[in-house]
Amino acid sequence: MSLKSKSGKTGVLKKIAFSTSKFALLSFIFLGFLFVLSGVEIGLGLLNHSMESSFFSLWGWSCLEDLKFFFSFILPAYLVYLPLHLLIPRITNIIFKTGLVLFFLIQLSLVFYYNTTLLLLGSDIFGYSLEEITQTVGASGSLSFTPFLILLLFISILIFALVFLPKKIIIKREIGIVLPVTSLLFIGLGISDRLQMANMKSEFESNLIRNKFQHFYTAAYGHFNPELYEVDIYAESYLGDFNSNYSIAEPIEYLDETNYPFLRKELKRDVLTPFFETKEQAPDIVIIIVEGLGRAFTNRGAYLGNFTPFLDSLSNKSLYWPNFLSNGGRTFAVLPSLLGSMPFGENGFMDMEKNMPDELSLLNLLQENGYNTNFYYGGNSEFDKMAMYLKKNKVDRIVDENDFPGSYKKIPASASGFTWGYGDKEMFRYYFDLKKKDPKSPKLDVMLTVSMHSPFITDETEKYELLFEERLEDFGFSEEKKERYRNYQKQYSSVLFTDEALRQFFQEYKKDDKFNNTIFIITGDHRIPEIPMASKIDRYHVPLLIYSPLLKRQEEFESISSHFDVAPSLISFLKNNYALKAPESNSFIGAGLDTTRSFQNIHNIPLKQTKTELIDFVMGEYHLNGDNLYRLTRDFKEEPVQDEAKKDELRNAFNQFKRKNAEVIEGKKILPDSLIRKYSQ
């Protein structure tokens, strides 16, 4: 080999070594700031929320998550950086340094979002319009001055480090090459998957230590590269049916899955009649969906304490399900699941808009049977496409914030100038004003409250803050525990406000001569996420109360049911007792409420966490969350379970639901046109 060739080869190797050294320095700066930001995030968490683990314990686990993220992408980044730096070193450094600044701007935004809402931002952002995103962010108050100050300080220090440290520090080439080699081993051996996350003491702490950018990227990638659920001729033979794994009173018999994925014979399970007296005239039905009403702080036995004294007293006179589930982690799912027992579609059933398949819901079926149907909401009914869903289901009247007279007061605006509309007391007051002007019966009135929603502002702040303090005193909490609860004073105060609004609602309704022939149904759309959650199932765990002067006795059922089961049970009850005209087949997801007193679950229950995340499934006493399996205990806590056979059983049943749901997304109908024409003109 000539001296010139050797010299050329040596020169290339030196350039590679130099580029590797520069890349290593940028990588170490990146890793160092990842660790610093994790410390900032844990600090914010401790400052604003109640946690059992120590700062250093949480920071250590968070840094481990950062390391997993770091080594997962260092090799790909090096393979991009190296050839570019050999060709255009100055421009490459500018591009990568700018990329690091942009990365931390995104990471900081995701950190602040979680610290405010206690929700990991993922692909759900793609399920909302820009207007809805702006409204939600404005409501959360996450655009305050403190996060902006932290962001400005952090980015300024980062830019300083990226500009001046490369002039002062040189990384040895031996150290530099260790990073991509380690990343290669890390990726090749699947070390990230083998390193399990810590079993933290709460769902909040588990989410706090997660790298927010990695979660967002993973969720976004899954959203744009969805798992497809193709139905083939052998699917039933090896997967089993979605509804056949646990015995119910009557097995599900599907009628035409090729054309109508969910169409089945009616389940003759009228479980409500034994508890009710009946009158000649069909009863009025009032459904109150309480924003954020989680079981965690509702009624006796709530693990956070009972902050709903009125609802607790009402449950003692009701049919009460303490172990009840909403089918969505946010409000988007509640109307289709509760009123129609419908599947989720892609981003929620209502998000299908004009492509929503025709259905027979409580709204249009009862309207066809002579009911006057109404929806009341203190906010904007266009949010989450609610108004479109209601109109498609032939609701007679929608009352929202645009209809309130000037004599009604909106919720006071937050610091950002945002208000959701009219609070629960004002909405109930307006409801009675309208009811007096339109006394028709029978009625189906559906109400969705708004006061228990971020930013948790009422126009009687001092009154309910005082009630909050009295509640803490009644619980006998220590001063240390009281301080932890005060981190969520606004949230708990709003719960007490809504509970009092419900008390006043029933006091007023008792004056109505239709009261004695009315059935009231109260549930939550999901649990308030801004109070840290103890488990994965916590966000869906809501109460269900059915109260009526027509009840012959009170009863509490420890069995598990969900919003999917409400419409089937109500329709069966009305059909058997009031000659309600309803078809002998339907496409309900739910099989009806379980009125077993002991703890059990006969349902297979899919749960959609956000508009884009269908990752939860409950079957029997087990809960599948992503790839994690939990066992539900009688007090509705969760224990991690390592049982691959059981996990496969749930996964297979869940996949069957997903396949059917995917067919609806692709355009298959819910019901034959003949049934729609016959029962919903």
CATH number for the domain harbouring residue 563:
3.40.720.10
Percent of the chain with pLDDT over 90: 71
Lowest mean pLDDT among 183-187, 355-359, 428-432, 507-511: 183-187
pLDDT, one tens digit per residue, over 405-450 is: 999 999 998 777 788 899 999 999 999 999 998 878 899 999 999 9
pLDDT of 238 reads: 35
Q: How confident is the model at residue 198 (pLDDT cuts 50, 70, 90)?
A: low
Is 467 a residue whose pLDDT tops 60? yes
Instruction: Give me the mean pLDDT over the 478-487 stretch.
Output: 93
- Min mean pLDDT across 14-28, 303-317, 375-389 is at 14-28
Q: Which of these three, 194, 224, 254, is where a domain ends?
A: 224
Quick one: average pLDDT of 651-670?
95
Length of the chain measured in residues: 681
Helix H segments across 228-356?
235-239, 309-315, 334-340
> Is 670 within a domain?
no
Q: Which pLDDT value is given to residue 243?
A: 57
Mapping DSSP onto H, E and C, the string for 600-620 reads CCCCEEEEECECCECCEEEEC
DSSP label at residue 576: H
> What pLDDT sits at residue 653?
95
**Alpha-carbon gap, residue 162 to 623, rounded angstroms:** 46
Residue at 403 is within a domain = yes
pLDDT top residue among 140 and 112: 112
Q: What average pLDDT does the segment 241-255 reach? A: 62
pLDDT tens for 533-559 read 999 999 999 999 999 999 999 999 999
Question: Domain of 45?
Answer: 3-224
CA 649 to CA 654: how far, in whole Å?
A: 9
Q: Do 293 and 218 belong together in one domain?
A: no
Mark whether 173 and 322 lie in a shared domain: no
| pTM assigned to the model | 0.89
Mean pLDDT for the stretch of residues 505-533: 96
Given a cut of 90, whether residue 14 has pLDDT beyond it is no
Shared domain for 120 and 197, answered yes or no, is yes
Average pLDDT over residues 595-619: 95
Q: Check whether 387 has a pLDDT greater than 60.
A: yes
Alpha-carbon distance 66 to 189, whole Å?
18
User: Do 157 and 85 belong to one domain?
Assistant: yes
pLDDT of residue 38: 95
> Rounded CA gap, 291 and 450, in Å?
6
Its sign, for the CA torsion 160, 163, 166, 168, is: negative
Last residue of a domain, one of 204, 224, 244: 224
Torsion of CA 589, 595, 597, 602, to 10 degrees: -30
In a domain, 264, yes or no: no
User: 69 lies in a domain?
Assistant: yes
The answer, yes or no, to whether residue 156 has pLDDT greater than 60, is: yes
Task: Say what the pLDDT of residue 130 is.
Answer: 66
Q: What is the mean pLDDT of residues 640-656?
A: 95
406, 520: one domain: yes
Q: Is the dihedral of CA 523, 525, 530, 532 positive or negative?
A: positive
Do 220 and 304 reside in the same domain of the chain?
no
Domain count, the chain: 2
87 vs 415, higher pLDDT: 87
pLDDT (tens digit, 9 = 90+) per residue, 524-534? 999 999 999 99
**Do 27 and 153 reside in the same domain of the chain?**
yes
- Within a domain: 653: no
Q: Reply yes or no on whether the pLDDT at 330 is more than 90.
A: yes
pLDDT digits (tens, 9 = 90+) for 22-78: 999 999 999 999 999 999 999 998 888 877 888 999 999 999 999 999 999 899 999
Judge if 150 and 287 occupy the same domain.
no
Whether residue 277 sits in one domain with residue 135: no
Query: Which pLDDT does position 195 carry in this prediction?
Result: 66
Structural domain ending residue among the three candidates 224, 258, 284 = 224
432 and 305 share one domain: yes
Residue 122 lies in a domain: yes
The two tokens of residue 461 are 């702040």
Q: Are residues 312 and 210 in the same domain?
A: no
Does residue 493 lie within any of the structural domains?
yes
Q: Is residue 54 one of the residues assigned to a domain? A: yes
Pick from 128-137, 217-226, 637-646 the range whose average pLDDT is largest. 637-646
pLDDT bracket for residue 250 (50, 70, 90): low
Same domain? 193 vs 276: no
Helix axes 89-117, 55-87, angle to 10 degrees: 150
- Per-residue DSSP letter, 487: T
What percent of the chain shows pLDDT beyond 70?
A: 91
